[in-house]
Amino acid sequence: TLLHSALIGFINGVQSCWTPSTFYCFQDVHVMIFVGFGFLMTFLQRYGFSSVGFNFLIAAFSLQWATLMQGFFHGMHHGKIHVGVTSMINADFCTGSVLISFGAVLGKTSPVQLLVMAIFEVTLFAVNEFILLTILGANDAGGSMTIHTFGAYFGLVVTRVLYRPNLDKSKHRNSSVYHSDLFAMIGTIYLWMFWPSFNSAITNYGDPQHRTAMNTYYSLASCTLATFAFSALVNPEGKLDMVHIQNAALAGGVAVGTAGEMMLTPFGSMIVGFLAGTISVLGYKYLTPVLESKLKIQDTCGIHNLHGMPGVLGAVVGAVTSALASPAVYGNGLQRVFADGEPGEWNAQSRGGFQAISLVVTLGMALIGGLVTGFILKLPIYGAPPDTHCFEDGLYWEVPGEEEGHHELNEVATPNETEKLNS
């Protein structure tokens, strides 16, 4: 009897170890937001303080504003906003979308502009999330649509409206050095390690959560191999590009955000991850220069390649996987994944259609919202850096050699810009 009890206790202990705690998932997501995103943007040689510091600033602000906005739309109970670990995770998700948009305008905006952008984006994020999850009943636990697609295309439209025709004056600062790329890899590794927790944080316990973590795990692994392979292939000398490794290796986590809790299978996840890594690397190599030269989209971090295209891919994969779902495949677990998956009422094609509509709604909200926000940020009242002083920490931070750096900036500035800097 004692042996039997001990054995049962051991088995229960093992099972509890394999049941992720919501609080532990929150910790992982929180690390991704503040450490992962912050250090991922430190690749610019003279903008490290601003990358980490402004990330810290707008993340701390956005999570508070998101708690209110998300609470107003789908967290109200008897006239009060209920907060807890789940609402904290959701607020971090919303903050992640703002930080994605931050990557598009990195180095070209003032802290005030970033805070104003966060106010509008968080509000629109909550509206879009309410439409998708509550009205359309879409599945998007990992946020391929609500977080990545929305944040990417919102930021791309904002940076298009804020287009700087003379940004070449700061071109010599819009580059990396050896140690700045090394710091950026810290952010990549943190994001890569914790992405399974990010995608599975708010899924149902049990099989859906385990499936999400597993699918993300294999997608990221496959994506990383594709990234290394294509990074070498697109280089005439066969060398690896650190920009690809820092960013494209994460695209697999983005691409399984919608379908992660579905029966994607490890093999399917690896296919999705491979496709995500491929389109991300090719995007950095061939599409980003075209976007800047033809469409005048100055995407500092290449968020279109890491979040935009993989996010759309994830939404399409989610729609297809939903349309193929059936009680024969999911058994009694169908309702745990799909809210409308009750026996006798399940319509897979309808569910796939709603997933596709959700992508269209998200793109519309992001494009229109980014357009309006961009014109608001364009007003000359926010202290935006001049074209000759973008990607420079010395404008906003006390840095070593500040006096020499400030003197150097004044030498290349016009009289009006020098007066603006001194003020």
Q: What pLDDT, in 10s, does the model give residues 219-277?
A: 999 999 999 999 999 999 999 999 999 999 999 999 999 999 999 999 999 999 999 99
pLDDT at residue 411, as a whole number:
41
Domains defined for the chain, CATH in brackets: 23-391 (1.10.3430.10), 392-423 (no CATH)
Average pLDDT, the chain: 90
Question: Is residue 3 very low, low, confident or very high in pLDDT (cuts 50, 70, 90)?
Answer: very low
- Residue 81: what are its φ and ψ, rounded to 5°? -85, 120
* Closest residue by Cα to residue 259 from 245, 247, 271, 244: 271
- In whole angstroms, give the CA distance from residue 254 to residue 293: 27
* 325/416: higher pLDDT: 325
CA-based max dimension of the chain: 88
Q: What does the alpha-carbon distance between residue 26 and residue 88 come to, in Å, rounded to a whole number? A: 7
CA distances from 344 to 246, 278, 323, 335, 347 (A): 47, 40, 16, 12, 9
Of 249 and 326, more confident: 249
Determine the pLDDT at residue 343: 65
Average pLDDT over residues 396-409: 66
pLDDT beyond 90 at 410: no
What is d(CA 306, CA 316) in angstroms, rounded to the nearest whole number?
16
pLDDT at 75: 82
Contact 67, 116 (CB under 8 A): no
End-to-end alpha-carbon separation of the chain, Å?
80
Around 68, how many Cα atoms within 13 Å sit in the side-chain half-sphere?
7
Residue 390 CA to residue 135 CA, distance in Å, equals: 42
Secondary structure of residue 382 in the 3-state scheme: coil
Q: Which two tokens stand for residue 395?
A: 């404008």
150 near 368, Cβ under 8 Å? no
37-68 pLDDT, tens digit per residue, is: 999 999 999 999 999 999 999 999 999 999 99
> What is the tens place of the pLDDT at every residue in 146-201?
999 999 999 999 999 999 999 999 989 999 999 999 999 999 999 999 999 999 99
Q: Which residues contact 75 (CB under 8 A, 6 or more apart)?
A: 81, 82, 83, 87
Q: What pairs with residue 76 in β-bridges?
A: 81
DSSP H stretches of helix in 75-177: 85-104, 111-129, 150-161
Q: What is the CA radius of gyration of the chain?
A: 22
222 touches 270 (CB < 8 A): yes
Do the beta carbons of residue 303 and residue 265 sit within 8 Å? no
**CA distance linking residue 362 with residue 149, whole number of Å:** 7
**Residue 402 — very low, low, confident or very high, per pLDDT cuts 50/70/90?**
low
Q: Output the CA–CA distances (angstroms, integers) from residue 223 to 42, 209, 268, 299, 406, in the order listed.
A: 23, 21, 12, 22, 43
